[in-house]
Amino acid sequence: MPSITVRTFADPDAYFAGIRNLPIDGLVTERGKFRAEATLIDLRRLQMGRFDEDLPRIMKVTPSGSRCLTLFTTDATHPALLANGVDTQNHIAMFGLQWPYYLRSAAASGWGTMSLVPEDLAAAGRAIIGRELTPPAFMLPIRPPVAPLSRLLELHAATGHLAKTAPGTLAKAEVARAIEEALLEAMVLCLAGGHSDEVRKVHRHRAMVMRRLEDTLREKSDEPLYMADLCAAVGATYWTLRDCCLEYLGMSPKRYLWMRRMDLARRALRRAESEKTTVTEIATNYGFWELGRFSGAYRSLFGESPSTALRRQP
């Protein structure tokens, strides 16, 4: 029997933690009232999701290692979601089983996903186009023909609407099977295209730089990092690292480091007990020594003062 879950979130941390139980590091990049809706549908073989968000953000997603995921923009009225810097308005992003990837939005956004285990993906390819489809090692952007992409988006939207308005109908075995077969056919026809080896090499190089960046940040999370040290640890020049970060994250590596530290400070303030610690202690723990500037930046980014965050009940 299909599984259907529709949830609305007002807290970004809860939203990032509630997407398929995937390890996700998320950063909201603009001040405002956060709201997101997630519709998750599990059919017999196919899992799909629809997501709508009101604020721009960056998400670093670590794959499950067991399912091959495809992603595309579902709301053409907003700027397209960027997957590893690739516009998904007219592309489908196909992800591998192991390498983390980045999803970035510049405003409110709507996006959708579909996933299969590799064996089911290969079988669907054999049945529909006469050859197996396999997950790429790194994210692969695919530009499908207009007709199959339009068909996929139409079916995906109709299934999401049915899940919210008539879940009992979608729960019927024959309805679910018919929808799954139609979605699989549309997805395989979209994925039947590919890219040149040269394009694959470019995406592979950028993915490797970003993975070394994240490994370095994780290994050195308890010590201050400076650009020269970071470039040496990653094994890339400043300009290479800068270009990769601008493409994947929409910001420089220096800005990314700063926003990560601000977000860690926010989480620490929200978890702490005001009787046992101070804003100064938490701020300096994360390398913010100009406390007036920290307070102003915190208020601008999160819409409240650090002291207000600290006084809130954990």
- In angstroms, rounded to a whole number, what is the distance separating the alpha carbons of residues 232 and 205? 17
Nearest of 12, 77, 7 to residue 37 by alpha carbon: 7
Question: In the prediction, which pLDDT does 63 show?
Answer: 92
Confidence of residue 290 (pLDDT cuts 50, 70, 90): confident
Q: pLDDT tens for residues 127-153?
A: 888 889 999 988 989 999 888 999 999
Q: For the residues 63-82, what does the mean pLDDT come to?
A: 92
The pLDDT mean for the chain works out to 88
102: left (phi over 0), alpha (psi -120 to 50) or beta: beta
Q: Which amino acid is at 307?
A: S
Give the residue with greater pLDDT, 83 vs 273. 83
Question: Which superfamily does 3-194 belong to?
Answer: Jelly Rolls (2.60.120.10)
Domain ranges of the chain: 3-194, 196-250, 252-314
CA distance 276 to 262: 21
Question: What percent of the chain is predicted at pLDDT more than 90?
Answer: 49
pTM over 0.85: no
Report the distance separating Cα 264 and Cα 84, nearest Å: 23
User: Which of 7-16, 147-156, 190-199, 254-263 shows the lowest mean pLDDT across its residues?
Assistant: 190-199
> Mind listing the pLDDT tens digit for each residue in 74-116?
988 888 899 999 999 888 999 999 889 999 999 999 999 999 9
Calpha distance 181→192 (Å, rounded): 17
Q: Label the pairing between strands 109-116 and 86-87.
A: unpaired
Which of 6-10, 22-26, 54-58, 281-285 has the lowest average pLDDT?
281-285
Question: Alpha-carbon distance 55 to 119, whole Å?
Answer: 36
pLDDT per residue as tens digits for the range 222-270:
565 667 678 888 888 888 888 999 999 999 888 888 888 888 889 899 8
42 three-class SS:
strand
Question: Which string of b and e fits 269-290 if b means at least 16 CB within 10 Å?
Answer: beebeeeeeebeebbeebebee
